[in-house]
Amino acid sequence: MVTATVWNEFRHEREDDAVREQYPDGIHEAIAEFLSDHGFDTRTATLDEPEHGLTEEVLAETDVLLWWGHAAHDEVSEEIVDRVQERVLDGMGLIVLHSAHYSKVFKRLMGTSCSLKWREAGERERLWAVEPSHPITDGIDEYIELPEAEMYGERFDVPAPETLVFSSWFEGGNVFRSGCCYRRGSGKVFYFRPGHETYPIYRQPEIQRVIGNAVEWAAPSEGPDPAYGERDPLEPLD
Amino acid sequence: MVTATVWNEFRHEREDDAVREQYPDGIHEAIAEFLSDHGFDTRTATLDEPEHGLTEEVLAETDVLLWWGHAAHDEVSEEIVDRVQERVLDGMGLIVLHSAHYSKVFKRLMGTSCSLKWREAGERERLWAVEPSHPITDGIDEYIELPEAEMYGERFDVPAPETLVFSSWFEGGNVFRSGCCYRRGSGKVFYFRPGHETYPIYRQPEIQRVIGNAVEWAAPSEGPDPAYGERDPLEPLD
Amino acid sequence: MVTATVWNEFRHEREDDAVREQYPDGIHEAIAEFLSDHGFDTRTATLDEPEHGLTEEVLAETDVLLWWGHAAHDEVSEEIVDRVQERVLDGMGLIVLHSAHYSKVFKRLMGTSCSLKWREAGERERLWAVEPSHPITDGIDEYIELPEAEMYGERFDVPAPETLVFSSWFEGGNVFRSGCCYRRGSGKVFYFRPGHETYPIYRQPEIQRVIGNAVEWAAPSEGPDPAYGERDPLEPLD
Amino acid sequence: MVTATVWNEFRHEREDDAVREQYPDGIHEAIAEFLSDHGFDTRTATLDEPEHGLTEEVLAETDVLLWWGHAAHDEVSEEIVDRVQERVLDGMGLIVLHSAHYSKVFKRLMGTSCSLKWREAGERERLWAVEPSHPITDGIDEYIELPEAEMYGERFDVPAPETLVFSSWFEGGNVFRSGCCYRRGSGKVFYFRPGHETYPIYRQPEIQRVIGNAVEWAAPSEGPDPAYGERDPLEPLD
């Protein structure tokens, strides 16, 4: 059984009435709930817990970590970023949601600024599935429509995804690579654009389905455990 | 339950004593046997059956097709190549084994000559797993050693694989991209180099494991069924 | 000096007044003209010439072939398709324009159906440059706007491009991977979506610039000439 | 004219007789010399200069930075790593040589550990060109042979290269992805394995040619300068 840990800043929901109304127990609980329904063993962790809730033990037991951050990226300690990066390289999956494109963890794993264009105007978004053979699209139609979304637009400063799964159209004239798969070390990383602290995007069944599919895809496989450092020859040398 | 159909020319085994000794019932039966043990619903098809054993019905019921060919590539009819290609684009997985790099089916899906260097000298091969996060490497060590193998060497004239899973070292001084993943349409394709009509490579447990993993990876997912052709606008035009 | 050969069906321009008005000497002449201005040695070839104008000699002298086709893809002979494919694998660049996504030559090199959605409604298109480090974007702004375009929409049934350079937004709600780089054999292939037989898209300076950049990018380099077939060992075998 | 700056720790050559004998003026001078012969405007910078020789001004004037480090990676300040990363994202090319796989700069841009296997036994290496259409292979034969090399072996913990140009065979039984192209921001990165502080590898003409080709490939192009942050809609919203 796959263990998914949902991490959240959990600040907006305590400080802003509009956010609290949408996600009274925090966005992490909303995500954890639908992932539990999907059949995962689900936990949560938040910024203001000791070690941001991400102790060595928690990470060791986590197969896939989901990351939501927005306003407090800078408050995440370098030590925890190091720890999460190391655990991803060791095989843990990572799902980076919406504004977490700017999280330290994602920037660390990408090596780029992860900048983009944005606009908060409640415009329509349509995510087109461009790679129908990818398991992250299981059960999804040709596109997912979001009636009201924050716009994220290209140029998105990330390395080209190893697989581009979704490409977004926005009412205001922009496009975005909104479902991006990467491998880092023995771990898999999926960036998924949709989400917002006030639009009810994580209530939408197709979005929940994609995130569930992504957890399954990103769960560690049982591949070789690479050894590094000095090594004797496997064949006789001249 | 995944249905795997193993296709074989089935000529060598009937015409050549050395091959028959290694694979008395045909190489397809040897592969089908270990895939059955792996838990797949397994069938076989051969060149000399009507429609090469690949009727519309057989292909419709096949989730993953495995292809072994060596000496009679030219005898495969264009009609069946068309049919297999169409079924791959429609979602069927395809595992292309060893000398099937030169099959019409693989060349059709790659768009290149699929040429390579080769040498039959019973030399040692070591397949290094270069992408430990890929499920095709599940249960595999850092490398697989084949005591005696036919050499295939670069330049291998294929499009760069979307994921390179294995890279081979050969005693005689060559290297080869020996585990290559592709997506074509809604289908997945895996080329896997090892195999031979007289060396007992398909008796080796790690090789059987990789092929089993590849069948699982290549099995169709439940993604969208793309629609093509003329389409009305989804948004009002000026 | 790079030699570019522009191939065109040259049917529309002779049969349809609206097309003739836009491109009186044929769309190939319009493209050849701006490529000459760009500094290339430019030639043309058309469907109704002997061997479609693509003799062995012409292809041998061509560094980069540009392909425009729309209504007569089926009339291109298999022999010439074989010849063009072989020449691409041997190093010739290929630029595939707009409706040539459905040409035999492109389908042959991709291995897929190359199908897509389309609509002819004169809607607005915006091509976003998503890979600013790619030389095909030299001299281009963040996006190119086409006031009136035929829509091409995803799912575009091609292998994932090795580099995705442009991604299109359409007024009617669709997106499209509209600048796609591939390598096939020793040759490079660029698919570029814009173009039309009646909208004056090839008169637009940014479009001309992209096509010129693409010719430079696709021109053959001086890499190794791979040898194939049986080879002696380079190292002593046990 | 392309400006190439060669960076070196320049410690070995001052502390170790064997290294000084091979590279009396430092390995950076040896590299700068053949790059000058290749036609580039060439400079050098070293660890013990103020700001490691990489002032804002030097980097602003540098089109392509070459990086050699081995024993003192930790002494490179985070501030200079930040500065180099930012300049790469802004368009500067970066060539990472041999043991610089472990430099802070490369690890920062890759997001992974960049670990590998190694062995110093003077064994034979053969770098096979696997992508003959890539300009980095210009003027190179099918393989480059190094009579005596330090072994670097897989698993090499980097993101899969966007283009794999060279794949190495080692006498002792290992393989390595030894020529790896990446894009990061508006900049291009090339990792090239060969090199050593005592084997005369940078005296070998083919190696010099590859490095020269890489500088040309990595030189900035004139693509768009992406804008980030909040943006007004380009189209009217409902």
Q: What is the pLDDT of residues A201-214, one digit of tens each?
A: 999 999 999 999 99
The string of DSSP letters for C117-150 reads EEEEEEEEEEEEE--TTSGGGTT--SEEEEEEEE
**Is the pTM higher than 0.90?**
yes
Q: Coil, helix or strand for C98?
A: helix
Residue B172 pLDDT: 98
**Distance between CA atoms of residues C195 and A185, nearest Å:** 42
Domain of B61: which CATH number? 3.40.50.880
Q: Coil, helix or strand for A64?
A: strand
pLDDT exceeds 90 at position C238: no
Omega cis (within 30) before B155: yes
Per the CB < 8 Å rule, is B233 touching C123? yes
**pLDDT 10s digits, D71-112:** 999 999 999 999 999 999 999 999 999 999 999 999 999 999
Residue B198 pLDDT: 87
SS (H, E, C) chain D: CCEEEEEECCCHHHHCHHHHHHCCCCHHHHHHHHHHHCCCEEEEEECCCHHHHCCHHHHHHCCEEEEECCCCHHHCCHHHHHHHHHHHHCCCEEEEEHHHHHCHHHHHHHCCCCCCEEEEEEEEEEEEECCCCCHHHCCCCCEEEEEEEEEEECCCCCCCCCEEEEEEEECCCCEEEEEEEEEECCEEEEEECCCCCCCCHHHCHHHHHHHHHHHHHHCCCCCCCCCCEECCCCCCCC
Spell out the alpha helix ranges (H) of chain A: 12-15, 17-22, 27-38, 56-61, 78-89, 104-110, 205-218
Per the CB < 8 Å rule, is D130 touching B154? yes
Q: Which residues of C touch A (CB under 8 A)?
A: 126, 128-132, 142, 153-156, 160, 163-164, 167-170, 173-175, 177
D236 burial via Cβ count (<10 Å: 0-12, 13-18, 19+) = exposed
The total domain count for chain A is 1
> Could you tell me the pLDDT band of residue C198, with boundaries at 50, 70 and 90?
confident
Residue B135 lies in a domain: no
Per the CB < 8 Å rule, is D221 touching C137? yes
Q: Which two tokens stand for residue A125?
A: 């978004």
Residue B136 lies in a domain: no
Task: Name subunits touching D (3+ CB pairs < 8 A).
Answer: A, B, C
Find which of B169, B171, B174, B176 to mutate to test the D interface (most D CBs within 10 Å of its CB).
B169
**Distance between CA atoms of residues B117 and B166, nearest Å:** 17
Residue B229 lies in a domain: no
Residue D197 pLDDT: 85
Residue D207 pLDDT: 98
**Distance between CA atoms of residues D97 and D77, nearest Å:** 19
Residue A197 pLDDT: 86
Q: What distance in Å separates residue D125's CA from the closest CA in chain C?
A: 11
Contacts of D227 in chain A (CB under 8 A): 117, 155
**Distance between CA atoms of residues A182 and A214, nearest Å:** 12
Residue B143 pLDDT: 98
Structural domain of A184: 3-112+179-218
Residue B23 lies in a domain: yes
**Distance between CA atoms of residues A151 and A170, nearest Å:** 7
Task: Report the length, in residues, of chain C.
Answer: 238
Residue B164 lies in a domain: no
**pLDDT 10s digits, A82-117:** 999 999 999 999 999 999 999 999 999 999 999 999
CA distances from A194 to A109, A144, B152, C167 (A): 20, 10, 46, 19
| Helix and strand numbers, DSSP H then E, in chain C | 7, 10
**Distance between CA atoms of residues B159 and A104, nearest Å:** 35
Residue D198 pLDDT: 87
Residue B238 pLDDT: 83
Residue D230 pLDDT: 98
Find which of D92, D103, D117 to mutate to test the A interface (most A CBs within 10 Å of its CB).
D117
Q: What distance in Å separates residue C38's CA from the closest CA in chain B?
A: 30
Q: Coil, helix or strand for C64?
A: strand
Q: What is the mean pLDDT of residues D56-67?
A: 98
Q: Which two tokens stand for residue A53?
A: 């809730």
Find which of D130, D133, D164, D210 to mutate to test the C interface (most C CBs within 10 Å of its CB).
D133
Residue D105 lies in a domain: yes
Per the CB < 8 Å rule, is C233 touching B160? no
Low-confidence ranges of chain A (pLDDT < 70): none
Of C109, C116, C173, the CB nearest to B228: C116
Q: What distance in Å separates residue B181's CA from the closest CA in chain D?
A: 13
Per the CB < 8 Å rule, is A173 touching C174? no
Residue A237 lies in a domain: no
**Distance between CA atoms of residues C54 and C182, nearest Å:** 22
**Distance between CA atoms of residues A142 and A128, nearest Å:** 6
Q: What is the ipTM of this complex?
A: 0.97
- Whether the CB-CB separation of B207 and B83 falls below 8 Å is answered with no
Find which of B114, B119, B120 to mutate to test the C interface (most C CBs within 10 Å of its CB).
B119
Q: In the block, which residue shows the tokens 């065109």?
A: C8
What is chain A's mean pLDDT, rounded? 97
Residue A40 lies in a domain: yes
Contacts of A155 in chain C (CB under 8 A): 128-130, 132, 142
Task: Return the closest-CA partner of residue A138 out of A80, A205, A213, A77.
Answer: A213
* pLDDT in 10s for each residue of chain B, 238 residues: 999 999 999 998 999 999 899 999 999 999 999 999 999 999 999 999 999 999 999 999 999 999 999 999 999 999 999 999 999 999 999 999 999 999 999 999 999 999 999 999 999 999 999 999 999 999 999 999 999 999 999 999 999 999 999 999 999 999 999 999 999 999 999 999 999 988 899 999 999 999 999 999 999 999 999 999 999 999 999 8
Residue B97 pLDDT: 98
Per the CB < 8 Å rule, is C185 touching B238? no
Q: In the block, which residue shows the tokens 């480059």?
A: D144
Per the CB < 8 Å rule, is D128 touching B168? no
**Distance between CA atoms of residues A175 and A225, nearest Å:** 39
Residue D130 pLDDT: 98
